[in-house]
Amino acid sequence: MKEVSVEELKNKIDNNEDFQLIDVRESFEYEVSNLNGLNIPLSGILIESDKIAKDKPVIVQCRSGKRSAQAIMLLEQQGFDNLANLKGGILAWKEEIDPELDVY
């Protein structure tokens, strides 16, 4: 499984690269803090897979990287081959990029 570090994600955001960010946490978690990704909870990832781009890189994130890895495994079984997991999730983002970010 391809992984992207939080530094790589920040560079993509800063450089306005064309990619999609998917946040597979639950809605209440997303409301506490998010990185402006599209919120599709893991439980609905296959039902809402039509919202996920197939024609550009997609980075999948969660709190720590575990649920996003699960989501990628499910989506790859559906034919997606453009996915990367955000290593360490939003916890790593807080630790390395934005210490002010609220996480639970």
Question: Catalytic residue numbers?
Answer: 62
Q: Residue 19 CA to chain centroid, in angstroms?
A: 11
Taking CA atoms, 34 is separated from 15, 73, 101, 102, in Å, by 19, 22, 9, 9
Which residues have CB under 8 Å from 41's CB, separation 6+?
A: 24, 25, 26, 27
